[in-house]
Amino acid sequence: MLSTHKNHRKSKRPAMTEAEAKHFNRISEANINMCLAHFTCGCSPYTDLYTFKRWKAQGYHIKKGEHGLRLPLVKTLDNEIGEPVEKLFTSSIVFCRHQVERDEAQRREEHREQ
DSSP assignment of 31-99 equals HHHHHHHH-TT-PPBTTTEEEHHHHHHTTEEEPTT---EEEEEEEEEE-TTS-EEEEEEEEEEEEEGGG
pLDDT, position 3 = 47
pLDDT, position 7 = 55
pTM of the model: 0.72
pLDDT, position 78 = 85
Q: By three-state DSSP, how is residue 1 classified?
A: coil
Question: Which residues of the chain have a pLDDT value below 50?
Answer: 1-3, 5
